[in-house]
A and B are shown apart, each in its own frame.
Chain A
Amino acid sequence: MSTRRPSSLLRNPMAKLAAVPMVVTATVVFIGCSLWTVVYSFTDSKLLPRANFDGFAQYDRLWSSSRWIASVENLAIYGILTLLLSLTLGFVFAALLDQKIRGENVFRSIILYPYALSFIVTGLVWQWILNPDLGIQGMVRAAGWESFAFDPLNSPGLVMVALLMAGLWQGTGLVTVIMLAGLRGVDEDIWKASRVDGIPAWKTYLLVVVPILRPVFVTSVVLIGAGIVKLYDLVVALTGGGPGNSSEVPAKYVYDYMFANQNLGQGFAASTMMLLAVLVIVIPWAVLEFGGKRRG
């Protein structure tokens, strides 16, 4: 055999050329700048980046700051609850919408509408709704229940509930629509077969449909996860981090320290920790997801 296959590098040259800008962006901006941030988190940079290396000083300070610890705890609570509730509510709404109802378009639009609002607008709207004098508490009291109390924005214990309500209201629509698209892709025959076998509908959903929708769930988890890690503008608009530190989140810590407090080093250290947290979750998952196929 004297013919050689053309090298795979030169196959499909136009497509590869078109991909070059994105490859450059991904390498330089995402990977390069992230590495730069990690390196500079070991310096004592204040307003402008400086290469005075300081060891782990920024990290020492970070982990002894009560505001940072509170931010991490708050994000963990918000993250886990948002993930579970978003997926559950999204799936339930999608299943309900899938029942061939009249006016499905109307309901779908209503559920998706909040997603069109920015987090700042969402935060402001919910700030008004939850205002004790002008919002829910005020309205219920005016309707007669004088002792009704619902003021999560001023209660350190309940303020995360307020954030969750606003966040879920905004984000569940997208999850619902994605799940609905996935449900529509489920083969009609599966429903017929389960009906013939006499399996109740809820069991079909739970044990047959959900496993089929695994890729849809993965997509939703990625989207919801991205929204959780970057939680910043909703907190700023709804609570400003308050009362005290009870609704602080890491992204807000990074921003406040980098710009308001003119301490880039702290901001870099905090964002490196955020990157680390994301990698700790993503890398094992990626190995599980893609590693197995290689061996198989």
Chain B
Amino acid sequence: MAATQLNHGQQAQELVEAGMMLDLTELAEEGNWAELVQPKSLLDACTFEGRVYCVPLNIHSPQWMWTSIKAFEKAGVEPAQNWEELKAAAPALREAGVQPLIEGLQAWQFATLFQTLVSGLGGEEVYYGVYRDGDEAVLRGEEMAMVFEEAVAAREMLEGTNVQDWNLATAAVINGEAAANVMGDWAQGEFQVAGQVAGQDYDCLMGLGGEPLISPGGDAFYFPANDDEAITEGQKDLARLLISPEAQIAFNTKKGSLPVRGDVDLAEAGACMQKGLEALKAGKVIDSVDMLISPDVAGQVGDLLAEFFASDMSAEEAQERFAEVILSDK
């Protein structure tokens, strides 16, 4: 296997430590990646002990809420522009037979919803205090208590959800059967394929309409170390290609993600992608959860959230167990 795609973050750390990945530092210096790649954290995530081991490909961020304008009209209320408005509109939506909030019943989707509550409603300091620093005062403090209360409210709005896969949840919003779905901007592809237009048929709200912080996650290509010269040359060619302006434009417009190069102009990008690009330029960027906690802790958080959303666990109990899981690895 000559090339492999992994997500930015701690997934590849052990493989790099074990010396299994090709060192791309020369290419990075040649192509001046340190200047080109925006935000810098993407290239940092590829860098271990000063050497570069992967080439970033695209930027996806999970902190978006997609709302269906048609669904709100059916209930006779103004389309919600933020979390509070969604909660206020929930009773009217239920009466009109519309699902206020929908998520697929999988742990990672609950994790996406939860981390967006933390960053969108709690803000940057709370987000970093929880995920990066493992600050006990923040984990057990009032802001997180508020976030868990909102999670309980979300759980109520989610009642009646019976889909598993994320694209089925997004499809419900596209069809107007559900009013809101918290999902990353890879959902844009679904809206595009359904021929819907941002602002007319659907709205995209960063950070649930609260703090427009996005965490640039996404894909990066790693190249397993190889003895064969020809293969190694081929790997380097692929790396150069992936970061070239042409590839970045073509690939990212199709996928609805953002390019990793700061010097590329996505003129044909839709309204939502433009919002994302502005947030990137304004530096409204937070490190993604993958980069801050290990896959093991992420798995345990997912298990906890799956249990929380399927039961009537109290906000206090959830907060305490969440704090224990995060602290166990810091």
Interface residues of A (CB under 8 A from B): 46-48, 65-67, 131-133, 151, 153-154, 156, 240-246, 256-257, 260-263, 266
What 1/0 mask marks residues of chain B from 2 to 37 whose CB sits below 8 Å from any chain A CB?
000000000101110010000000000000000000
Q: Is A242 touching B11 in the complex (CB atoms < 8 A)?
A: no
Q: Which residue of A lies closest to B10 (CB)?
A: A262
Q: Is A243 touching B310 in the complex (CB atoms < 8 A)?
A: yes
Q: State whether A244 and B307 are in contact (beta carbons under 8 Å apart), knowing that A256-B299, A262-B11, A262-B14 are contacts in the complex.
A: yes
Closest chain A CB from B105 CB (angstroms): 5
Identify A245's interface contact among B296, B299, B307, CB under 8 A: B307
Q: Is A243 touching B105 in the complex (CB atoms < 8 A)?
A: yes
Cα of A241 to Cα of B308 in the assembled complex, Å? 14
Q: Which of B292-307 contact A (CB under 8 A)?
A: 294-296, 298-300, 303, 306-307
Q: State whether A156 and B299 are in contact (beta carbons under 8 Å apart), knowing that A240-B106, A262-B11, A262-B294 are contacts in the complex.
A: no
Cα of A257 to Cα of B302 in the assembled complex, Å? 12
Q: Is A260 touching B295 in the complex (CB atoms < 8 A)?
A: yes
B-side contacts of A48, CB under 8 Å: 14-15, 18
Q: Is A46 touching B296 in the complex (CB atoms < 8 A)?
A: yes
Cα of A156 to Cα of B308 in the assembled complex, Å? 12
16 contacts between A and B (CB under 8 A): A47-B13, A47-B15, A66-B307, A67-B303, A131-B162, A132-B162, A151-B162, A156-B311, A240-B164, A241-B306, A242-B310, A244-B311, A245-B310, A261-B295, A262-B14, A263-B299
Q: Which residue of B lies closest to A244 (CB)?
A: B310
Closest chain B CB from A255 CB (angstroms): 11
Identify A244's interface contact among B14, B298, B300, B306, CB under 8 A: B306
Cα of A156 to Cα of B296 in the assembled complex, Å? 25
Identify B306's interface contact among A153, A154, A245, A257, CB under 8 A: A245
Q: Is B307 touching A67 in the complex (CB atoms < 8 A)?
A: yes
Q: Which residue of B lies closest to A61 (CB)?
A: B328
A-side contacts of B311, CB under 8 Å: 156, 244
Q: Is A261 touching B299 in the complex (CB atoms < 8 A)?
A: yes
Q: Is B105 touching A240 in the complex (CB atoms < 8 A)?
A: yes
Q: Which of B264-290 contact A (CB under 8 A)?
A: none
A-side contacts of B164, CB under 8 Å: 240, 242
B-side contacts of A256, CB under 8 Å: 299
Q: Which of B247-266 contact A (CB under 8 A)?
A: none
Q: State whether A156 and B106 are in contact (beta carbons under 8 Å apart), knowing that A46-B296, A262-B296 are contacts in the complex.
A: no
Q: B128 on the interface (CB 8 Å rule)?
A: no
Q: B186 on the interface (CB 8 Å rule)?
A: no
Cα of A65 to Cα of B310 in the assembled complex, Å? 17
Cα of A47 to Cα of B6 in the assembled complex, Å? 14
Most buried by B among A47, A132, A151: A47
What 1/0 mask marks residues of chain B from 180 to 223 whose CB sits below 8 Å from any chain A CB?
00000000000000000000000000000000000000000000
B-side contacts of A242, CB under 8 Å: 105-106, 164, 306, 310
Rank and list the top 3 A-B pairs by shortest CB-CB distance, nearest first: A244-B310, A261-B299, A47-B14
Q: B309 on the interface (CB 8 Å rule)?
A: yes
Q: Is A261 touching B296 in the complex (CB atoms < 8 A)?
A: yes
Q: Is B307 touching A266 in the complex (CB atoms < 8 A)?
A: no
Q: Is B299 touching A260 in the complex (CB atoms < 8 A)?
A: yes
Q: State whether A156 and B294 are in contact (beta carbons under 8 Å apart), knowing that A48-B14, A67-B303, A262-B14 are contacts in the complex.
A: no
Closest chain B CB from A216 CB (angstroms): 39
Q: Is B298 touching A261 in the complex (CB atoms < 8 A)?
A: yes
B-side contacts of A263, CB under 8 Å: 295-296, 299
Given contacts A66-B303, A132-B162, 9 further A-B contacts (CB under 8 A): A48-B15, A156-B311, A241-B306, A242-B310, A260-B295, A261-B298, A261-B299, A262-B296, A263-B299
Q: Which residue of B lies closest to A248 (CB)?
A: B303
A-side contacts of B106, CB under 8 Å: 240, 242
Cα of A167 to Cα of B188 in the assembled complex, Å? 38
Most buried by A among B18, B306, B309: B306
Cα of A262 to Cα of B294 in the assembled complex, Å? 9
What 1/0 mask marks residues of chain B from 151 to 191 whose CB sits below 8 Å from any chain A CB?
00000000000101000000000000000000000000000
Closest chain A CB from B112 CB (angstroms): 16
Closest chain B CB from A13 CB (angstroms): 44
A-side contacts of B294, CB under 8 Å: 46, 262
Q: Which residue of A lies closest to B15 (CB)?
A: A47
Closest chain A CB from B165 CB (angstroms): 9
Q: Is B310 touching A266 in the complex (CB atoms < 8 A)?
A: no
Cα of A47 to Cα of B306 in the assembled complex, Å? 24
Closest chain B CB from A8 CB (angstroms): 49
Q: Which residue of A lies closest to B299 (CB)?
A: A261
Cα of A66 to Cα of B325 in the assembled complex, Å? 12
Most buried by A among B11, B15, B300, B307: B307
Identify B162's interface contact among A47, A66, A153, CB under 8 A: A153
Cα of A153 to Cα of B104 in the assembled complex, Å? 13
Identify B310's interface contact among A46, A131, A156, A257, CB under 8 A: A156
Q: Is A257 touching B299 in the complex (CB atoms < 8 A)?
A: yes
Q: Which residue of B lies closest to A151 (CB)?
A: B162
A-side contacts of B15, CB under 8 Å: 47-48
Q: Which residue of B lies closest to A259 (CB)?
A: B295
Cα of A244 to Cα of B302 in the assembled complex, Å? 10
Most buried by A among B11, B164, B303: B303
A-side contacts of B296, CB under 8 Å: 46, 257, 261-263, 266
Cα of A288 to Cα of B224 in the assembled complex, Å? 53
Closest chain B CB from A176 CB (angstroms): 32
A-side contacts of B306, CB under 8 Å: 241-245
Cα of A133 to Cα of B172 in the assembled complex, Å? 13
Closest chain B CB from A34 CB (angstroms): 24
Identify B14's interface contact among A46, A67, A154, CB under 8 A: A46
